[in-house]
Amino acid sequence: MIKQDIVDSVSKKTGLTKLEVEAVINTSFKEIITTLSKNEKIELRGFGTFAVKHRLPKKARNPKTGDPVYLPERYVPVFKPSKLMKTTVNDELIDY
């Protein structure tokens, strides 16, 4: 599923136009990115939590050549699904 599929689905279910739904989705994504860039956590109950994790610099290896590679210090966005999401996905896939 891609973003346009989500826009189409939400548009059909809500009666809003595709342009309105796309504007809401784009604004939501931008707000999530802005909030994470401030190193703040976002909790969406029943869905999950977005946060930023700090990764220390480390030495790694290029799996193709075996050459050592230096990975600098960085911050990465992470997502932890809620218990409800995990349970629902698991139950649906088992019944599939």
Q: CA-CA distance, 17 to 66, in Å (whole number)?
A: 52
Q: Cβ-count burial of 7 within 10 angstroms (0-12 exposed, 13-18 middle, 19+ buried)?
A: buried
Largest CA distance in the chain: 55
The domain total for the chain is: 2
Per-residue pLDDT reduced to its tens digit, 10-58: 999 999 999 999 999 999 999 999 999 999 999 999 999 999 999 999 9
pLDDT tens-digit map of 52-91: 999 999 999 999 999 999 999 999 999 999 999 999 999 9
78-90 burial, b at 16+ Cβ within 10 Å, e below that, comes to eeeeeeeeeeeee
Q: Does residue 52 share a domain with residue 22?
A: no
Q: What is the rounded CA–CA span in Å between residue 53 and residue 36?
A: 10
Position 14 scores a pLDDT of: 96
The answer to whether residues 58 and 94 belong to one domain is yes
Residue 48 shares a structural domain with residue 95: yes
CATH value at residue 87: 4.10.520.10
Which residues form the domain of 23?
Answer: 1-38
pTM of the model: 0.81
95, pLDDT greater than 80: no
Looking at the fold, whether 69 and 92 belong to one and the same domain comes out as yes
The whole-number pLDDT of residue 92 equals 87
DSSP letter at 51 equals: E
Statement to judge: residues 28 and 7 lie in one domain: yes
Tell me, what's the pLDDT at 94?
84
